[in-house]
Amino acid sequence: MKRYLIALITSLLFISCAQNQHLPIDKEATAETVNLYQRLFRNMDKGILVGHQDALAYGHNWYKEPGRSDAKDVAGDYPAVIGWELGHLELGAEYNLDSVYFADMKQYIKETHKRGGITTVSWHGDNIVTGNTAWDCAQDFVVKAVLPMGINHGKYLSWLNRLSDFFLDLKDENGKYIPVIFRMYHEHSGGWFWWGSEQCTPAQYKQLWIMTVDYLREKRHVHNLLYAYSPSETRDEAEFLERYPGDDYVDIIGFDCYATGSDATAVANYKKALDHNLQIITSYAQQSGKLPVIGETGMEAIPYPQYYTDAVYTVINQYRIGWVLFWRNAWEPDKPNHFYVPFEGHPSAIDFKEFVAKPNIFMNADIK
């Protein structure tokens, strides 16, 4: 009996230590990946990291100017978290669906790592059945087609191979793998991607997720990833978890949420949505030991001049989260209003500067 008790206490102690240590789901995660995960938790105790999608590759009215970033032009420093998009890597293309060359992206990721910054990647992979984009969601059998026994399973694995090769090519100057966060199959609670809630069943979505993690990890030996689960806005924890593949398959939990206008009502609705979804994810983060983040957010063209200090800060400041990532500043001449971080001279630049100067809002130089 005594021996059983000792064994029980030891294993309980072990479990609670493991939880305190926040270990990634990949038992073979590289030391740098484990460090990154723990570092994110440590930083969360002090503040919230600012992220920007595609920050280094281009910005409003410019493309590929070494060292430049719209956030840096305005606020003097790089974002702490930089997001990248892998769409079309699966096809073997040289550049992604927003015209960023994958060779350049690898360099940006290396530069970011060297600066102590953090990289997260998303993947708007094409619809493998129709050959159209990720947004071709007219069918409800694409996920089924890529699962084992599905007609496109083999081809899909060849797509995952291309992603694996990319991840395994992310190495620092000492030849160590650079850890990155893979926020895959995101916004799946909506119905606008082939992996969306109207396009597959919860069981199929979970299978897709689990198959991807298992394949990258076990068949391709990719061990420099943290996996982020990020639906669009959800009503409650039940909806948030409806397609959740399980605590053994997710390191980071978040959500994507955008302002749909800039008048008082739209701002109020946005704050309400941010707050509600922050409650859902931070509550589940408490229960599960996962790291909560805002996967994507923004107000297109930022017409509300207090967007950052009012709409965002007053809400996120009430929560403990890892980061908030603002979406991209399109370089394309036909998308002049598609930007989510101000550029020099934009009326919201002052507010952005004020936001990032808050003691608990961190740009690259502020993180440990």
Q: Of residues 93, 97, 147, 210, which one binds ligand BMA by CB under 6 A?
A: 97
DSSP state of 68: -
Q: Which is nearer to ligand BMA, 126 or 351 (CB)?
A: 126
Residue with tokens 């990946």: 33
Site for ligand BMA in 159-218 (CB under 6 A): none
Q: Is 237 known to be catalytic?
A: no
Among 26, 70, 90, 98, binds ligand BMA (CB under 6 A): 98
Work out whether strand 62-63 and strand 323-326 pair parallel, antiparallel, or are unpaired. unpaired
Site for ligand BMA in 106-135 (CB under 6 A): 124
52 is a contact residue toward ligand BMA (CB under 6 A): no
Q: Which of residues 67-86 bind ligand BMA (CB under 6 A)?
A: 85
Count of positions on this chain that bind ligand BMA (CB under 6 A): 6
CB of 338: closest distance to ligand BMA in angstroms? 6
DSSP state of 178: P
CB within 8 Å of 83: residues ≥ 6 apart = 51, 52, 53, 54, 55, 119, 120, 121, 122, 183, 296, 325, 328
Q: Among this protein's residues, is 90 annotated catalytic?
A: no
Nearer of residues 54 and 366 to ligand BMA, judged by Cβ: 54
Which residue out of 187, 218, 239, 354 is catalytically annotated? 187
Q: Where are the alpha helices (DSSP H) in 243-301?
A: 264-288
Considering the complex, state which of residue 112 and residue 207 has its C-beta at the smaller distance from ligand BMA: 112
Min CB(272)–ligand BMA separation in Å: 22
**SS3 of residue 326 by DSSP:** strand
Smallest gap from residue 97 Cβ to ligand BMA (A): 5
Nearest C-alpha neighbor of 71 from the set 291, 315, 304, 356 = 356
Q: Nearer Cβ to ligand BMA, position 177 or 323?
A: 323
- Say if residues 86 and 121 touch (Cβ distance below 8 Å): yes
Which C-beta is closer to ligand BMA: that of 137 or that of 367?
Answer: 137
The binding track of 306-345 with respect to ligand BMA, each residue x by CB under 6 A or -, is ----------------------x-----------------
Determine the Cα–Cα distance for residues 228 and 226; give it in Å rounded to an integer: 7
DSSP string, 124-164: ----TTTSS-TT----S-HHHHHSTTSTTHHHHHHHHHHHH
CA-to-CA distance for 273 and 278, rounded, in angstroms? 8
Sign of CA dihedral 71, 72, 76, 79: positive
**Residue 157 CA neighbour count, 13 Å, CB half:** 14
Catalytic, out of 239, 296, 344, 354: 296
296 and 53 in contact (C-beta within 8 Å)? yes
- Closest distance to ligand BMA from the beta carbon of 198 (Å): 19
Query: Nearer to ligand BMA by C-beta: 85 or 233?
Result: 85
Show which residues are catalytic: 187, 296
Q: Which residues bind ligand BMA (CB under 6 A)?
A: 85, 87, 97-98, 124, 328
